[in-house]
Structure 1
Amino acid sequence: MSTSRNATLEAWMAENGYSSNSLADAVNSAVGDLTGKVGGLDGSSVRDWKAGRVRWPKSATRVALEKVTGCSATDLGFLPRGRAPSPAAPAPPPEDPVERRRFLAAGTALAAATVTPSSGFSSRRIGTSDVDRLQARFTEIIASDHRHGGRLGIEQKSLALAGEALALQNSGSASQRVRAYVYACAAAFRSSAMWAAIDGRRFEEAMVHMREAQALAELSADPAIKFRIWSHAGTLYRHMGRPMEAMAANDVARSLSITRRDPLFASLGLARQAAIHGVAGNATAARRSFAQAQEAMDRADPRANRPVWMVSFYDQAELDSLALTGYLALGDYETAEAHAHRCLAALRPHMQRSRAIATTRLACAQLGQEDVGPAVATAMSVSRNAGAHHPRVARMLRSFHTRIRAMAPNSPTTRMWNQYAHATWKDSV
């Protein structure tokens, strides 16, 4: 039987920086999350997919692949059994960055207009069950972010779900309260697209998502989602090296009424403010804000009802992670290292992306103290998948690579690191 190559899958892998081996490893891990037993794929399995020799993976593998990529199996070029491929289907053209920007700039209205009837909505009464369904999908997005972070697939899926939420608004009648909830869901999805773009260092796209999310949040009148979006805006500007704008955006988040009602929101706002002070080089203000963030967290009621995005990530480990960020930026490497160890000891198991980032920052803090051996051991403990594919982790490790070669170019430890780095980054191309 003749086979045709799966050009769609090949294009997705090329765009997202996956080799056959690294995609197999990521899917195996996702199979383990789903079934409790790690999958048994290897590079040859993925090469069979690309060559068209396997046109429809087994069910558990297929679901795991969809979780890793954020795309459906059919969108990745696979064909359900019994369906014949088009006789002359051309390979999709490479994505034009200009067209992608136009698509993003078109905003959620375009996404809503293009939702197909398969979304399951029809003219009817919109109720809380619809909101519950959207919130369940939002929980899935949050879980994907904690596992992988920064993936283009997460950004695209969040954008599509924001469109579904807005399509729901136009599908029937609803109470004012339900409509506000649906707008809040749309804002939440768009803010997750924004966060994925920030984490993936796609700052231009993040700015577009930010503006759309802010408009949707105003329609929802939900102070929690407004806080999330403005707090993310502060983080976006911080990563862009614009601390004054970062501080202004974070101040908007901190001025919202929810920070006065719930000390945990106040704590997050203060901790992010402290990280911004670190980037700005203001050590006194950073230390003061971190102390205030800790005091607010200590006052917070752990039993309070909070949004899933807040409950799933902000705790003592995240506060220490932000302290690590701030003190590392200040060049206070000893204090940064102390917060790194506290963060890593307290991180919850599902925070895989956060663990990779904190471990990389710990290596940088150790190197800043000229502890070359421990620094290399720490850097080599970062998962190879994160080191090769997470933009923030990869960028920090490449900076680490440059610094250690300048600091100790001829040491056996540096040679060991060079071999490790070559193997890690070679696998990513």
Structure 2
Amino acid sequence: MDTTRNTALQAWMDEHGYSSNSLAEAVNRALERLTGRPGGLDGSSVRAWKAGRVRWPKSATRKALENVTGLSATALGFVPRGRTPSTPAPPQEDPDMKRRTLGGIAVAAAVAAAPGTAPRRIGMSDVDRLQSRFAEIIASDHRHGGQLGIEQRAAALADEALNLQNSGSATQRVRSRLYACAAGFRSSAMWAAIDGRRYDDAQRHMREAQALAEMSGDQAIKFRIWSHAGTMYRHLGRPGDALAANDVARSLHLTRRDPLFASLGLARQGAIRGAAQDRTSTRRAFGQAQDALDRADPEAPRPVWLTAFYDQAELHSLALSAHLALGEYPTAEAHAHQCLSALRPYMARSRAIATTRLAHAQLAQGDAEAAVASAMKVPSSAATQHARVSRMLQEFGAALRATAHGSSTVQTWTEHTAAWRTSA
């Protein structure tokens, strides 16, 4: 039996601080949430995965592992039965990723331009390679979010997918998948720009992503792009445009096939309604979103970008945003605590955002001491490097000084933010 070591899984564990025993415990808990029965994995089970003795875990175990890590089983180095194992790129942030991406583009262009050479056959292995890189981008986004480097790498990978179209012959199915890959990377570039408040760049990526998605015919990626557009317009303070964009996503027929897509569309509609100060519609949308989430089959096959982030925690996060905008601060605080308790370990960006919103909700209720204690839990890296978090914390500081001027809590916060600036 081939026992090639699973270096991708080992790299993910090293980056996120998991031992074999702690990962087994996390997967067991995820299995219990999925099946209602505790999992029976232990450290030896994970060591068998790392050593390559188990190349393709059982389906429920794979799903639980994907829920814990936010990556697909193949991106974690597992090999479906019947396939030849390969050594995938590790899913952590790779400082050489940009160099390798640009190298791939150059190679593809050289192949296309070389005179006298027969065109190579582009196949699903090329698509699978791009999909593993997509999983890397998704993982980087959930750790860091909004970074210009993520946007640039995603855009470069979109170009690589398009260059493959011209570097050889391929079936129509493969060409459609390549367009879907390119659209997926562009939508990640779009999201990184939105998250970093670079809205002009986001709109440019959106237009390119929409055109690529149309050529791909992929409903899921169309949903992602239009749903992102709704979020972008909500952040821009344009609720009419936000609702129109989100309605395009919600009108796609896959939302009728899969309640998880329907739930995400409804939850984002609720966030938009909250920003527009429509209390009745906000509550209705979140009630419907919860119903749809409860109906969703956790075992149904779905794209990694969706399964990596949308769950009960994200629904609470969107409800937190909506009720904060509505001025319903106790309800917002309740959603914040529920979100934070349910977030998956790797969702660092989402945790920073929810913690900052929790601080705002507590301060608005007059509890400055609790609010400052919450805000101080935001890591300095998010506070200084993530544009959305940084702006929300600046607004928090201004509100704190306005409501608790001269108090010890203001002094505590001032000293804390000074330390951030020193360490940045």
Q: TM-score range by the shorter chain?
A: 0.7 to 0.9
CA pair 375-69 structure 1, distance change in 2 beyond 3 A: farther
Amino acid at match of 2:384: A
Deviation at 1:425, TM superposition (A): 2.8
1:67 aligned partner: 94
Equivalent-residue separation in structure 2 for 1:425 and 1:262 (angstroms): 46
Deviation at 1:67, TM superposition (A): 3.2
CA contact (8 A) 2:206 2:225 kept: yes
Query: Quick one: which of 263, 273, 292 aligns to 2:259?
Result: 263
2:280 aligned partner: 284
1:116 and 2:106 correspond: yes
1:390 and 2:389 correspond: no
Residues 124-273 of structure 1 correspond to what in structure 2 (within 5 A)? 124-273=120-269
Deviation at 1:121, TM superposition (A): 5.7
Equivalent-residue separation in structure 2 for 1:400 and 1:201 (angstroms): 18
1:77-100 Cα offsets, whole Å, 9 max, x none, are xxxxxxxxxxxxxxxxxxxxxxxx
- The root-mean-square deviation of aligned C-alpha atoms, in Å, is 2.5
Query: Quick one: which of 320, 342, 348 aligns to 1:346?
Result: 342
1:294 aligned partner: 290
1:89-148 Cα offsets, whole Å, 9 max, x none, are xxxxxxxxxxxxxxxxxxxxxx99x93127896631111101100100000000000000
1:320 aligned partner: 316
Query: Quick one: which of 4, 12, 15 aligns to 1:33?
Result: 15
2:22 aligned partner: none
Equivalent-residue separation in structure 1 for 2:348 and 2:92 (angstroms): 18
1:4 aligned partner: none
Deviation at 1:32, TM superposition (A): 5.0
Equivalent-residue separation in structure 2 for 1:133 and 1:389 (angstroms): 30
Query: Quick one: which of 328, 332, 344 aligns to 1:332?
Result: 328
CA contact (8 A) 1:30 1:68 kept: no
Query: What are the ranges of 5 or more consecutive residues in structure 1 without an aligned counterpart?
Result: 1-28, 38-62, 76-110
CA contact (8 A) 1:69 1:153 kept: no
Equivalent-residue separation in structure 1 for 2:403 and 2:98 (angstroms): 43
Equivalent-residue separation in structure 2 for 1:30 and 1:410 (angstroms): 46
Query: Quick one: which of 388, 404, 407 aligns to 1:408?
Result: 404
Deviation at 1:424, TM superposition (A): 1.1
Deviation at 1:291, TM superposition (A): 0.4
TM-score scaled by length of structure 1: 0.75
Equivalent-residue separation in structure 2 for 1:296 and 1:351 (angstroms): 23
Query: What are the ranges of 5 or more consecutive residues in structure 2 without an aligned counterpart?
Result: 1-10, 20-89, 113-118
Deviation at 1:423, TM superposition (A): 1.5
Amino acid at match of 1:394: S
Say how many residue pairs are matched: 338
Amino acid at match of 2:381: N
CA pair 65-343 structure 1, distance change in 2 beyond 3 A: closer
Residue identity over aligned pairs, in percent, reads 62
1:366 and 2:348 correspond: no
Deviation at 1:426, TM superposition (A): 3.8
